[in-house]
Amino acid sequence: GAFGIMRLNLPKEVFVEQFRDIVSFTKSEEVKAIAKFSMPPRIEDIQELTLADDAVSALKTCAPGDCKVKMDARAMERFRTEIDWEAANYHEQATQLMKQTLVDYVTRYLQDGDRALGQYDDQAEPLRIADAFRGVLENSTYLREYVPEFYTYLENFPKGRLPNVENFVYWSIEQFGLRPVINLYHVTIYTRKRNGKEDVFITSKQIYASHYFEIAFGFTAFVDEVRGKRPANAYLMYLNRSRFDKLYGGLKDVIMSIGKGKVYDGVKFYFRQVKDKLEAIQVVGQKPHQDL
């Protein structure tokens, strides 16, 4: 887990507008490709996705309990039987099937929530993704106690109802450690209005990662300080919690070290992105104030 906080005196709707443009918000050298899914998702949304040669080679030999790409046994079987691995265009076939698999996955998730997440069968011990997420969510006492209605909404997604909520899903390819990782994220933005004030809460839930991660969950709170009648400061807080694979072999310690560094650096990057973007915004002729 990693946490950061920044004093930020800026209209909350300005921050939300910046975050909605997730492609620009997360732009960096490590993000090789990124795009939002339409509602409902379409294959065109993921046309820029490409598979590295080693990922395609791994898909060719994937079997339950022994696969270098995270997926369930049903998907492994599809890659084994639906791809003509002797054809000259097998790489293109594998890429197209991966695109369709991800689009179908997101579609099911938006319809059925965590029940549609299935499991990872790449290691000897299968992992149900919903169980991994629930483990992180149930330990997020800050969310349950401070914004209980939002906690309940996330717990029951997509069946729950909550005013002033918006959702979107995006995919990305990010360089992580020894190989690029394909990610799917579900983002939920909740604006709570009460007692004449407005607070913004954002969650970023990793619903799929092709390598390394079991689950990752980011929580953003942009809230006002409670300070009687004096002008109150506003604070932007961000917490990221991640669970990694059970890793084996000689590279375990190296990969874990890289993984932890990425989580911590990700929080720094998050605030740096906010700072850089907001410095370019003029509010009543003044730049917004930030303290990191």
At residue 288, does pLDDT exceed 60? no
> Model pTM?
0.89
Phi first, then psi, for residue 40 (nearest 5°) are -75, 160
At residue 242, does pLDDT exceed 70? yes
pLDDT for the residue numbered 231: 61
At residue 287, does pLDDT exceed 60? no
pLDDT for the residue numbered 227: 66
Alpha-carbon dihedral angle through residues 158, 146, 273, 28, given to the nearest 10 degrees: -40
CA atoms within 13 A on the CB side of 151: 14
As a whole number of angstroms, the distance between CA 5 and CA 111 comes to 34
Instruction: Name the residue type at position 174.
Output: E
Summarised one tens digit per residue, pLDDT across range 43-62 is: 999 999 999 999 999 999 99
Band of pLDDT at residue 14, cut at 50, 70 and 90: confident
As a whole number of angstroms, the distance between CA 186 and CA 181 comes to 16
What is the mean pLDDT of the segment spanning 213-217? 91
At residue 202, does pLDDT exceed 70? yes
What is the mean pLDDT of the segment spanning 184-210? 93
Band of pLDDT at residue 282, cut at 50, 70 and 90: very low
At residue 18, does pLDDT exceed 90? no
What is the mean pLDDT of the segment spanning 144-163? 95
At residue 166, does pLDDT exceed 60? yes
Contact of 46 with 99, CB cutoff 8 Å: yes
Three-class SS of the chain: CEEEEEEEECCHHHHHHHHHCHHHHCCCCCEEEEEECCCCCCHHHHCCCCCCHHHHHHHHHCECCECCCCCCHHHHHHHHHHCCCCCCCHHHHHHHHHHHHHHHHHHHHHHHHHHHCCEECCCCCCEEHHHHHHHHHHCCHHHHHHCHHHHHHHHHCCCCCCCCEEEEEEEEEEEECCEEEEEEEEEEEEEEEECCEEEEEEEEEEEEECCCEEEEEEEEEEEECCCCCCCCCEEEEEEEEEEECCCCCCCHHHHHHHHHHHHHHHHHHHHHHHHHHHHCCCECCECCEEEC
Band of pLDDT at residue 284, cut at 50, 70 and 90: very low
Phi first, then psi, for residue 135 (nearest 5°) are -60, -40
At residue 149, does pLDDT exceed 90? yes
pLDDT for the residue numbered 281: 64
As a whole number of angstroms, the distance between CA 232 and CA 209 comes to 40
Contact of 205 with 217, CB cutoff 8 Å: yes
pLDDT for the residue numbered 286: 47
Band of pLDDT at residue 285, cut at 50, 70 and 90: very low
Between 257 and 75, name the one with better pLDDT.
Answer: 75
What is the mean pLDDT of the segment spanning 81-100? 97
pLDDT for the residue numbered 61: 93
**C-alpha 274: how far from its chain's center?**
17
Band of pLDDT at residue 121, cut at 50, 70 and 90: very high
Band of pLDDT at residue 11, cut at 50, 70 and 90: confident
182 beta partners: 173
34 beta partners: 172
Contact of 217 with 208, CB cutoff 8 Å: no
191 beta partners: 200
Percentage of the residues of the chain whose pLDDT score is greater than 90: 62
What is the mean pLDDT of the segment spanning 87-102? 97
